[in-house]
Amino acid sequence: MERYDDIDRALFALPLEEPPQGLRDSILAITVYAPQPERAKVGLFENVGIGVALALLVWFTWAVIANQVFADTIFGGLVAFAQGLAKPPTLLSLAMGFSAIFIVSLMPLRLVPVQVRTERS
C-alpha cells in the first residue's frame, strides 16, 4: 500500500492546466479533417493505352502458354537475338557507342554568353 505524504497530497490536488484555445481544432485540422491528397487525374488516352497494353500482355501470355508453335517461335527469336548480340562486331559497336556516350557526358559543356559589341566602342 502506497503511503502519501503532504507533498504527494498537494501534487495530487493540483489540477491540470487548460490547453490553449483552439488546440483541439488545430489538431483535428491536421489529422481527421486534413484534406486528402488529390488523386492524379488520368486522361482518356492514358486509360486506353494502359488498357491496350494490359490486353496485349494477357493475349501474349495466353498465346505463349496455349500455343506451343508460337512459344517456340518466340523462344527461337530471343535466342537468335541473343546470338546476334554476342557476336564480336556487335559487341565492339556497342562498346564504342557506350564509350562515346561516357566521354561526351564528361565534357564540360557550359553555355558561354556571346559577347555583344556595341556600335559606340
- Contacting positions for another protein (CB under 8 A): 5, 7-8, 10-12, 14-20, 23-28, 30-33
Closest distance to another protein from the beta carbon of 94 (Å): 48
Residue closer to another protein, measured from CB, 28 or 65: 28
Neighbouring CB atoms inside 10 A of 64's CB total 15
Closest distance to another protein from the beta carbon of 37 (Å): 13
CB 43 within 8 A of CB 50: no
Residue closer to another protein, measured from CB, 26 or 93: 26
Closest distance to another protein from the beta carbon of 15 (Å): 7
Residue closer to another protein, measured from CB, 7 or 82: 7
Residue closer to another protein, measured from CB, 15 or 43: 15
Closest distance to another protein from the beta carbon of 36 (Å): 10
Q: What is the chain's alpha carbon radius of gyration, rounded to the nearest angstrom?
A: 36
Look up cell 502506497; give the residue: 2
Task: Measure Cα distances from 19 to 23, 26, 44, 74 in Å.
Answer: 7, 12, 51, 71
Task: Measure Cα distances from 26 to 17, 18, 38, 60, 100 in Å.
Answer: 18, 15, 21, 54, 58
